Amino acid sequence: MTTVAHILAAKSRDIVTTQPHRTMAEVARLLADKGIGAVLVTGADGDLLGIASERDIVRAISRVGPSVLDDAISRHMTTRVVSTRPDSTVTSVMEEMTAGRFRHMPVMENGRLTGLVSIGDVVKHRIEQIEHEHSALREYIATA
Ligand code: AMP
């Protein structure tokens, strides 16, 4: 069974974070600059306070209007963050993302943030795995 650790090994361990007092506009700019869909919000000692995704920003703008871009991100982020562990299987992550209807999961190890997996990472990994299985099967058939 492939685990979250396999995915993390194949990607950069840089985790993009922001602070709770940053404005929605600043976070929107950060997401755009980094080409990502969500950012983790951490406290002064690196503890995980929440997650803010582009969906939170879009929802807030539609509810309140563009003035919401001046609000602190802490007012609109999700604070009940579902995380995973390096030894969790990729399949379980896929199931949790589907059930929770979110596309990002922080990875925690001994209470410390060690990475972030996105639905894009999970799908990329599954496609590579399926292609690998297909070529092994083709080779098996060709040499049988
Ligand atoms: P996403 O699909 O990841 O862009 O996020 C959709 C919604 O779920 C947003 O409100 C996010 O703040 C929230 N969200 C994203 N990831 C998680 C997570 N791991 N745990 C809990 N909520 C999340």
Q: Which domain holds residue 133?
A: 4-143
**Ligand 1 atom having least distance to the Cα of 103:** 3
Compute the mean pLDDT over every residue in the chain, rounded to the nearest whole number. Answer: 94
- Tell me if 104 CB under 6 Å of ligand 1: yes
Tokens of 70: 């001046």
- Residue-wise pLDDT for 95-112, tens only, equals 999 999 999 999 999 989
- Tell me if 113 CB under 6 Å of ligand 1: no
- What CA–CA distance (Å, rounded) separates 32 from 79? 22
CA of 102 from ligand 1 middle (Å) equals 4
Contact status, residue 79 vs residue 42, Cβ threshold 8 Å: no
pLDDT at 144: 77
- Residue-wise pLDDT for 63-90, tens only, equals 999 999 999 999 999 999 999 999 999 9
- Tell me if 103 CB under 6 Å of ligand 1: yes
- Tell me if 86 CB under 6 Å of ligand 1: no
Q: What is the CATH number of the domain that holds 86?
A: 3.10.580.10
Give the total number of structural domains in the chain: 1
| In the chain, % of residues over pLDDT 90 | 86
Q: How far is CA 76 from the centre of its chain?
A: 17
CA of 48 from ligand 1 middle (Å) equals 14
